[in-house]
Amino acid sequence: MIAYTMIGVSDLPSAKDFYGPLFSQMGMEICWQEENCVSYGLAEDESVPRFFIGYPFDGKPAGPGNGTMTAFRVQSPEQVVALHKMALEKGGSDVGAPGYRPQYGDGFYAAYVRDCDGNKLAFVVYP
């Protein structure tokens, strides 16, 4: 259903430094890039939704919308922990430490971070 997600960033090189290792850990790669934008996904599989980072098209400052979040489904709680740690090491901020969230269902394990522009991300595992 989702073709791609795009978020605005204020500093593309810094954003690539933040997102590159995270997507690599999830088995994703840079699929396309130009001076103002980069996409991550699987270059050989266009059925996998892409995640774009880039400067806002309208030239206005980048910034998150309240209540907006992108969640990435991964394979294990250990990978959630590794991604959360990596995001913090790359300058992100913690908005929900790794752990089970039984209110969202049995086996739902997640961690929440914000990138350097305040965009909210989740790394999740669920049956």
Query: What is residue 65's predicted lDDT score, i.e. its pLDDT?
Result: 76
pLDDT-based confidence at 57, cuts 50/70/90? confident
- The H or E element spanning position 79 is helix 77-89
- The number of residues in the chain equals 127
Query: What is residue 1's predicted lDDT score, i.e. its pLDDT?
Result: 66
Q: Which CATH class is domain 4-56+69-125?
A: alpha beta
What's at 43, amino acid-wise? A
HSE toward the beta carbon, residue 92, CA cutoff 13 A: 28
List the chain domain ranges: 4-56+69-125
CA 52, CA 4: separation in Å to the nearest integer?
7
Question: How large is the greatest C-alpha to C-alpha distance in the chain, in angstroms?
Answer: 43
pLDDT in tens, 37-56: 999 999 999 899 999 999 99
- What's the pTM? 0.87
Q: Which residue has the tokens 């790794």?
A: 98
